[in-house]
Structure 1
Amino acid sequence: MSDHHVAPVSGPVPVAVRQPPYYAVVFTSLRTEGDEGYGETAERMGELVKGIPGFLGEDSAREPGGLGITVAYFRDLAGIEAWRAHAEHRAAKAYGREHWYERYSLHIARVEHSHGFERAHG
């Protein structure tokens, strides 16, 4: 048996399946205790990334103990680079390293296959 506490993904449903290829940016983090503006900044980043050309959506979950995983999907590497270089995002990352994160890892993967399932109701 697992001792993990499962947190729901952000939003009401996972991001829709897309036609590959596209890219997944997987950000796994362990938070420090306390908020220190994290919630507001995360909300702001969520709004800003929507304006990045090629952004397809994101799924995110966090355990009560501080472990979180966010997967952001982009049509191409240019979109990922635009987000990485965004001035407000860069400032939030720097602040996060100083205040919000014990550690994190970032992985960028090319999605070659994608499919989904949705239960029929009714």
Structure 2
Amino acid sequence: MRTTYMNGIKGDNSYDDAGQLAAITFGVANGYVYDGSNIVQEPVGAASANNDASNVKASYVGAGVDEVFAQLSGSGQSAAILTYLTDALGSTIRLVDAAGAKVVEYTYDPYGNTIADAAVRNPFQ
């Protein structure tokens, strides 16, 4: 599935046999680490070892399959938490920072293509 952002950047999503997001490619593929069916980490590269904190781009907090509540990235002074807000269908409609300020807002066309009002790295739209 291809996602187009407001600034024209396009990313290709690929899925494994279980239907889980396996990688997003923006020129370079990013892989994901799962705990059962729940996504928990995004390593720096598709083949990075996730046992080294410097190889982890982001960690995710969620309640179940495809229910991501928060993205934790960085460490120390650069640590950031983004919270996912969804509509009644479970589609991500907005990301907010720790202060509750809007970071990006998403809308969807009739075919389900994502339209973002800012360029923010977010694999769950």
Range of TM-score over shorter length: under 0.3
Q: Which one has a larger percent helix, Structure 1 or Structure 2?
A: 1
Specify which structure has the bigger relative contact order, considering alpha-carbon pairs within 8 angstroms and separated by 6 or more residues: 1
TM norm structure 1: 0.24
